[in-house]
Amino acid sequence: MKYGFYKFYEIAEEIKKNHERYFSEINDKTEDYVLDVDWDCYNALSQAGHLYAAVMANEDGLQGHMIFSVTEHPRHRGIWVANGESVHVERAFRGGEAKALESIAINSLRLLGVREVSFTWSDKRQGEWLNKLGYEPSHTVWTKKLGEYNGK
């Protein structure tokens, strides 16, 4: 398995090519919204230095990715934080390879000066995976829906 960390726009086409296959199971399971990525926004954020992707691939192509937005903390100037925007690892590689992917991502984000990495997910299974990697719940998220997503 080969791993890499890129400005998102450098690897966007590979991720985009596999997007429909990656997330079809999420779209089938959710009642709240249909995942509809704004690729132009992702590329603009990346060009501005605010979106990065860690990927893993083998001879068959891309097998997983983690996408992070990187911003200065709005209440703590000079503190850079990353938010996990998207994570997918093919089922066959959800063990040690996925852990290695996360390690590459974290080490690369640390080199960018990031001091905190967060994920906001409603999927308990993904939260359990993050807990195994050393993440802890640190904030309560309160949500009020003000409208529909994609007609749902």
pTM: 0.83
Average pLDDT over the chain reads 85
Average pLDDT over residues 137-146: 71
Strand order in the sheet with 51-58: 2-7, 51-58, 61-72, 80-89, 114-119
Model pLDDT, residue 27 = 57
Instruction: Tell me if residue 56 falls in helix, strand or coil.
Output: strand
pLDDT for 72-115, tens place per residue? Answer: 988 888 999 999 998 889 889 988 999 999 999 999 999 999 99
> Phi and psi for 69 in degrees, rounded to 5?
-90, 140
State the Cα–Cα distance between residues 22 and 111, nearest whole angstrom.
Answer: 28
